[in-house]
Chain A
Amino acid sequence: MSETLQRPAGKAAFEVVGTRPVRPDGADKVTGRAAYGADFDMPGQLVGKILRSPHAHARIVAIDASKAKALPGVKAVVTAADFPNLASEIVEGGESASNTRDLSLNVMARDKALYQGHAVAAVAATSVAAAQAALDAIKVTYEVLPHVTDVLEAMAEGAPLLHDDLYTEGLESRPTAPSNVSRRPVSQRGDLEAGFALAEVIVEGSYRTAAVHQGYIEPHACVAAWSENGRCEVWSSSQGQFMVRTYCAKLLGIEASDIRVVPAEIGGGFGGKTTVYLEPVALALSRASGRPVKMVMSRDEVFRATGPNPAAVIEVKLGALKDGTIVAADVKLKFQAGGFPGSPVGAAVMTALACYDIPNFLITGWDVVTNTPKTAAYRAPGAPIAALGVESAVDELALKLGLDPIAIREKNAVRDGTKASYGPVFSNIAYLDTLAAIRDSEHYKAPLGPNQGRGVAVGFWFNIGGESSAAVHLADDGSVVVMSGNPDIGGSRASMAMMAAEVLGVSVERVRPMVADTTSIGFSMLTGGSRTTFATGMAVTQAAQKVVDDLRARAALLWEVPVEMVEWRAGAAHCLDPAKADKAPMSIASLAATAGRTGGPISAQVSLNAQGAGPGFAVHLCDLEIDPETGESTIVRYTAAQDVGKAIHPSYVEGQVQGGVAQGVGWALNEEYVFDAQGQMENPGFLDYRMPVASDLPMIDAILIETAPNPNHPFGAKGVGEVPIVPPLAAVANAMRRAAGVRMTDLPLSPPKVLAALDAARS
């Protein structure tokens, strides 16, 4: 199932890191005790509900809430008028910078509703029924406008304009007229024309993906309580309590330290909970009503008004020599941003060719607003879409040249010393080892049955570091509390405990990791970008190291030796002074018990801005079988190899790989937003938004490559959470190509489409 290849050279074996202990929050999670966003209540709380635009594009002429306010049980009604009218400002808070004006307008529409489902008002009432009655009683006067949902249509001349102040950035000169294209990032190298002139073979293709949702099973939920002195408290499940604080402070015009955000357990995020939807509204309702307000989204609302990931059109043209050397690449990425600018097309431009060492390339992206919900981050945002195009094109190249799909990638692979397509020079990457792991795997050699095809695809994600804070406190019995500011979305809490235990030399069962609220720990950037084990782990490790240094100092004091004569080993101080050989080792428990006499409580806090996160490379192998009479397909086998540096807790690293694969498979085969002619989403539920179920998938084999530990992390870890979703779209599409004999480029590859393509090829 999983192999860890080769211990890092020169490092002694770890005691805890790399093992598979039961996660510390496990008992609460398997007994239903763990409290998620909707599991919390405050005395006197009201029910908050949002009124949403029925129109995909409309001017909001007037809102009359007078009847609603008068209904029994209705304690507050808010609209955009209850929020400050923010100027455009870029603020760091989420996974990437956000425009707070756009964020505010997305949370509560002001002049225009930009998608069906856009929030236009909110109520707080004493019961669900009263809140619903209040929503029904609010009269909104709309001036319905023409709408556009398709990304190419939104780019075309004469398309309905969403924002009359949107002028495309990144062009050679500022356009004279506004459009729906907010920016056009470009990345280039060499001479594209000369490159294509050299090419002995050229492949060209155009690909499409539909909008997909992160699909977390827990709908957004929060409880907000505003106190008369202007301080407030928010309980919410998000990917970052500090992000919630920053955004709520901005959107409500209050100071950050006046908000205490308490992180609930989170039922999935995948990037979709790196922003706010309900929290500012709940706060505004609480402020207006004087009571706590609880808001929980329905699944319908989650689909209509949060996320999703952009729909996109991808065009790829590759030029290569007959031996498979790629000499030129032209990639065009047109991304749907939803009602406001900010699709991840920039990241897609940066990652599109990151696995390849190509001398001449041009990658162009377009960020296009459409009358669909504002897109939010979804696991390696932008990269899976770009990889669909590039990996399908490389596959076509391999077919055309009669080359093995791994061999052609090895030929063009980046390695240590290669200047990455997005700028930095790679070092300590194990991409070639990852390719080799698939090439040499049993799966790769296994024979295929009838109507089966095998697809290869690779993927890349930068992973980030960023700001994290952590604290390590010793209790007087020597047990350890580790505090950090990062919500645990995939089991990272276990890794924090393991890293601290490793440094302190104690068993992981003695370490209790906690996720702190915004008043109890220093600032931490949110959980996302595959950063937590890397950056927060670094802070935890450094804090634990400080505690060890302090423990040595206490022992030195008690033994009356210089601190250099104290070694910390196996959870105890050992005296190295030969003159004091009678000094027995002092355990962490005994030093903790005497801490009051040797200087006070033993505690350390570290805040840092982690640099040097290791990028992730993944190579995926997918066997797919089609039913040629119906177009149905089955994933029969899947292997995913990934360069992880060092797996702190291998089970949870495997889990990240398997989960990302499953999401990618769903994206490739069945998931899509379907919009009707009115711009209304037709499938806002799990019945017709088809995510993979248990019977849709086989076991997913994860191979963890640890031949190149990250030197910038105390234990060699690289980020692992996002890369797994990058290759599957293309791995499935390439497997489909080999099984069906015809290339399908329009995802999802649902049975009707597959059958139509097969029939077209047969005729």
Chain B
Amino acid sequence: MSKIHVTANVNGDAVEFLASPGMTLLDALRDELSLTGTKEGCGSGDCGACSVIVDGRLVCSCLMLAAEAEGRRVQTIEGLAQGGRLHPLQEKFLEHAALQCGFCTPGLLMAAKALLEANPDPTETEARYWLAGNLCRCTGYDKILRAVLDAAAELRQARSAA
């Protein structure tokens, strides 16, 4: 079995790794690049715990082959905080207690980031439907929505102030 040499950009860094043809991007991130922040909850694209952003698109990394990442830009949870500073979404999640066990949190944060990039002023309903692909079993989603909408407001304010 021959492995495929993949070069990609992950969180702004050029990376390379060897992937067997059937390896998923999720496996590559966790096992080849030691980026274990992205989680496997189901392996079938139904829970969103493995969510990452590829070339600006929110995807489930368990539904992508590692080989498909060739030449692509991948953003994972490890790249959300910049220079030791938490992203407003991360801060709002903590402020609103929008996590309990925290397992779904990386995927949710990536999904929320993608939401606010696509729609900086979502309604609660729009946010709920966008985030429907991210299962959370602990929180009942209430505080997650509050955190996301609060972060959205803060980001809009920062943008208009700038």
Interface residues of A (CB under 8 A from B): 20, 22-23, 25-27, 29-36, 38-39, 214-219, 265-270, 296, 298-299, 489-491, 649, 651-652, 654-656, 658-663, 685-687, 691-695, 697, 699-700
Contact = CB atoms under 8 A, between A and B. Distances in A.
A23 B137 CA distance: 19
Contacts of A649: 97
A269 B137 CA distance: 10
B86 A697 contact: no
Contact of A27 (B46, B49, B86): B86
A267 B135 contact: no
Contacts of B127: 694
B129 A695 contact: yes
Given A29-B102, A219-B40, A659-B139, A694 B95 contact: no
26 contacts: A27-B86, A30-B80, A32-B106, A34-B102, A35-B36, A217-B39, A217-B49, A217-B135, A219-B40, A268-B138, A299-B43, A491-B100, A654-B97, A654-B142, A655-B100, A655-B138, A655-B140, A659-B100, A662-B141, A686-B47, A687-B46, A693-B133, A694-B129, A694-B141, A697-B142, A699-B146
A38, A219, A270, A686: most-surrounded residue (chain B CB, <10 A): A686
Contacts of A270: 137
A685 B93 CA distance: 28
A691 B138 contact: no
B141 A33 contact: no
A490 B39 contact: no
Could you say which of B76, B86, B143 has the most chain A C-beta atoms within 10 Å of its C-beta? B143
A20 B97 CA distance: 9
Closest 3 CB pairs of A and B: A32-B37, A267-B103, A662-B140
B140 A659 contact: yes
B109 interface: yes
Interface string B64-82: 0000000000001110110
A215 B103 CA distance: 12
B101 A298 contact: no
Contact of B132 (A30, A36, A694): A694
Interface string B132-154: 11111111111111100000000
Nearest to A664: B140
B142 A30 contact: no
Given A29-B102, A36-B103, A218-B103, A659 B44 contact: no
B141 A218 contact: no
B94 A22 contact: yes
Most buried by A among B41, B44, B86, B137: B137
B77 A32 contact: yes
Nearest to A661: B140
Contact of A31 (B39, B42, B78): B78
Nearest to A721: B100
Given A491-B97, A655-B100, A693-B132, 18 more contacts: A20-B97, A29-B102, A30-B105, A30-B106, A30-B109, A31-B86, A35-B36, A216-B103, A217-B137, A265-B101, A268-B101, A268-B138, A651-B96, A655-B139, A662-B137, A685-B44, A686-B42, A699-B142
Question: Chain B contact residues (Cβ within 8 angstroms of A): what range?
Answer: 35 or more
Contact of A697 (B103, B105, B133, B140): B140
B141 A697 contact: yes
Contacts of A662: 137, 139-141
A490 B103 CA distance: 11
A269 to B, nearest CB: 8
Contacts of B109: 30
Contacts of B78: 31-32
Contacts of B61: none
A25 B94 CA distance: 10
Nearest to A30: B90
B65 to A, nearest CB: 16
Contacts of B39: 36, 38, 217-218, 267
Contacts of B138: 268, 490, 655, 659
A30 B47 contact: no
Contacts of B144: 694
Given A31-B90, A658-B142, A651 B37 contact: no
B113 to A, nearest CB: 12
B131 interface: yes
A20 B96 CA distance: 9
A658 B138 CA distance: 8
A219 B137 contact: no
A360 B42 CA distance: 49
Contact of B41 (A31, A219, A654): A219
A23 B140 CA distance: 19
Contacts of B30: 39
A685 B42 contact: yes
Interface centre among A34, A655, A697 (most CB of B within 10 A): A655
B47 A217 contact: yes
B77 to A, nearest CB: 4
Contacts of B37: 31-33
Listed residue (B49, B136, B140, B146) with the most chain A CB atoms within 10 angstroms of its CB: B140
B151 to A, nearest CB: 12
A229 B110 CA distance: 46
B101 A490 contact: yes
Contacts of B129: 694-695
B137 A268 contact: yes
B45 to A, nearest CB: 9
A31 B110 CA distance: 11
B160 interface: no
Given A691-B135, A694-B141, A32 B46 contact: no
Contact of A651 (B47, B97, B105, B132): B97
B41 A217 contact: yes
Nearest to B111: A694
A491 B93 CA distance: 13
A754 B124 CA distance: 28
Nearest to A39: B36
A298 B43 contact: yes
A654 B142 CA distance: 10
B35 to A, nearest CB: 8
Given A267-B103, A655-B139, A694 B80 contact: no
A323 B124 CA distance: 44
A659 B76 contact: no
Contacts of B2: none
Contacts of A700: 140, 142
Contacts of B140: 655, 658-662, 692, 697, 700
A38 B138 CA distance: 19
